[in-house]
Structure 1
Amino acid sequence: MSAWILLRGLTREARHWAQFPARLRASGLDAEIVCLDLPGSGQHVDLRAPTSIAATTDFVRARLAVDGHAPPYRVVALSLGAMVAVDWAQRFPAEIERLVLINTSMHRYSGPHERLRPSAWPRALRAAWRWRGRQDRRVAEAAIHALTCRREDEREADLAAWIEIYESAPPTRTNALRQLLAAARFRGTPLAPRCPTLVLASRDDALVHPVCSTKLAAAWGATLIEHPWAGHDLPHDDPAWLADAIAAWVGDGVGNASAVVVPSTGA
């Protein structure tokens, strides 16, 4: 059975998936789940992040091969990670069986003000400015939390966990900027991926306007599902809903607009 490959976004790593992999397993998807870090993050924090999505894709494919995994794969990817997933499916279509794209965007379909909302700039700059040092890092992670999450009930626990992750494998500001450059330049091709594709958008995403997902799904004729209240980090805000949405879509067979999704569990 095809493994599920999980890819995170800008400067985030496998541990930032938190509860989601376990929720995905509990949803009935019993294939292997592989949380892979991008170059410059997590296990690969000492590597220089590429300034192109294509080079990042090449790294991911090579890393999976070294680790003993073989295609075809099913990919669940968030934001920057979803751009890698799109590039992968477009350039190597035989390797991807299914795509789940969460809160992502492409330069081909969306403008800069949609791909990074102007209202997000103050918090994004605050996070970048306060990148290093324990006290500074708390400010940076708090800014990231406010920018990407809508669930506040476990905010202090989140910040403590995120600071611990950062201290054990600190991504550099330079690599963050290199990843950001790769994302900003990514256009992809106009051809839709050949595999079934599910596009998920958070209606209250303060970082990337959900219209980016709407345009992408419309251009490709892909299934589009909106979460009613979550922020950019949908796996953080409602991991059970996300896992059940993916399982329902897979259970639908090919994966089309008739996919059944459970109601949100609420904020």
Structure 2
Amino acid sequence: MSTWILLRGLTRETRHWGRLPELLRDAIGAAPLLLDLPGNGEFADIRAPATVADMVDFVRLAAVQRGAAGSGGAGSGAAGPELAAPCNVLAMSLGGMVATDWAQRYPGEIGRLVLINTSIRPFSRVHERLRPSAWPGLASVALHWRDARLAERGIHRLTCNRADTLDADLATWSAIRRSAPVSRANALRQLGAAARFSAGDARPACPLLLLASREDRLVDPACSAKLAAAWGVDHRVHAWAGHDLPHDDPAWVAQQVRAWLAQDAVESAQTP
């Protein structure tokens, strides 16, 4: 069975997945491998790369070191480490850009992709990739970056539509921020990398599922719709969740992945 790797987005880390890894484990039959992007989580002390391509190189090495699949070793040439068997990747937002670039540059290493609320040039316009209505909220988060609770409250307001867990979320997220703070400089480098990233026109060679939130206040869901149309891939939309779909409805995400895998298995069995 292929390893499933989970990648979060801008300034977020593995602990921000909440219940999704547990629910996804039940859906796919194995525990996923959770990896942080450079500059986040366990790698918070590392200077975040200025490009998505460099983030891919970092994550590929981390995947090999964590035993995602066999390895060619870090000294295996200009391409760096090599996975001996394809992995599947579920990623959101900036993590989705990293996963897309990984699949396009190293097609033999990615068996399946699930992208959540991501936005990619050249398929989406600037105001779609980051809604203008979110700019004041982002400025407020930046202003209060060193105040864990205020910053996390601002992030919650921008990314989550489920409010019944607000107090618990703020307590958990504030503790995460204090234990592994992402520097403002790393946040800006990640934001810049996301803004500059442009994917190739050709869709990744692997099966691909796009999940989006109709009520995303940070990224226009049109970004996923346009990407799905351009690449001709499965596209499913949640009715009320915000940008952080895994937070708002992790069970729905796990159900969509399970249904997608089951559908593919049936279609494969019917193919002569």
- TM range, smaller chain: over 0.9
Partner residue, 1:92:
106
Secondary structure in structure 1 of the residue aligned to 2:264: coil
Partner residue, 2:60:
61
- Aligned CA-pair RMSD: 1.1
**2: CA distance between counterparts of 1:73 and 1:155?**
34
Partner residue, 1:80:
94
Gaps of 5+ in 1: 257-267
Q: How many residues align?
A: 252
The alpha-carbon distance between structure 1 residues 153 and 219, as it changes in their structure 2 partners (threshold 3 A), is: same
Secondary structure in structure 2 of the residue aligned to 1:68: coil
**1: CA distance between counterparts of 2:265 and 2:161?**
32
**2: CA distance between counterparts of 1:187 and 1:254?**
32
The alpha-carbon distance between structure 1 residues 15 and 99, as it changes in their structure 2 partners (threshold 3 A), is: same
Q: What letter corresponds to residue 45 of structure 1 in structure 2?
A: A
Partner residue, 2:121:
107
**2: CA distance between counterparts of 1:26 and 1:67?**
21
Secondary structure in structure 2 of the residue aligned to 1:89: helix
Q: What letter corresponds to residue 120 of structure 1 in structure 2?
A: A
Partner residue, 2:6:
6
Secondary structure in structure 2 of the residue aligned to 1:253: helix
Secondary structure in structure 2 of the residue aligned to 1:252: helix
Matched residues, percent identical? 58
Structure 1 stretch 63-72 or stretch 45-54: which is displaced more?
A: 63-72
How far apart are 1:67 and its partner, in Å?
1.9
Per-residue Cα deviation, 1:163-182 (whole angstroms, up to 9, x for no partner): 00001000000000000000
Q: What letter corresponds to residue 66 of structure 1 in structure 2?
A: Q
**1: CA distance between counterparts of 2:111 and 2:31?**
14
The alpha-carbon distance between structure 1 residues 229 and 255, as it changes in their structure 2 partners (threshold 3 A), is: farther
Q: What letter corresponds to residue 251 of structure 2 in structure 1?
A: A
How far apart are 1:236 and its partner, in Å?
0.1
How far apart are 1:255 and its partner, in Å?
9.3
Q: Report whether the alignment pairs 1:168 with 2:157.
A: no
Secondary structure in structure 2 of the residue aligned to 1:50: coil
Partner residue, 1:192:
203
Partner residue, 1:40:
39
Query: Contact 2:119–2:224 (CA<8 Å) still a contact in 1?
Result: yes
Gaps of 5+ in 2: 70-84, 268-272
**2: CA distance between counterparts of 1:255 and 1:12?**
36
**2: CA distance between counterparts of 1:194 and 1:231?**
29
TM-score, scaled to structure 2: 0.91
Per-residue Cα deviation, 1:75-110 (whole angstroms, up to 9, x for no partner): 000000000000000000000000000000112111
Query: Contact 2:214–2:239 (CA<8 Å) still a contact in 1?
Result: yes
Per-residue Cα deviation, 1:104-153 (whole angstroms, up to 9, x for no partner): 01121111100000000011110111001xxx221111110000000000
Query: Contact 1:103–1:202 (CA<8 Å) still a contact in 2?
Result: yes
**2: CA distance between counterparts of 1:110 and 1:244?**
27
Partner residue, 1:224:
235
**1: CA distance between counterparts of 2:50 and 2:179?**
24
Segments ≥4 residues shifted beyond 4 Å: none
Partner residue, 1:148:
159
**2: CA distance between counterparts of 1:15 and 1:120?**
24
Partner residue, 2:75:
none
How far apart are 1:32 and its partner, in Å?
3.6
Structure 1 stretch 69-78 or stretch 177-186: which is displaced more?
A: 69-78
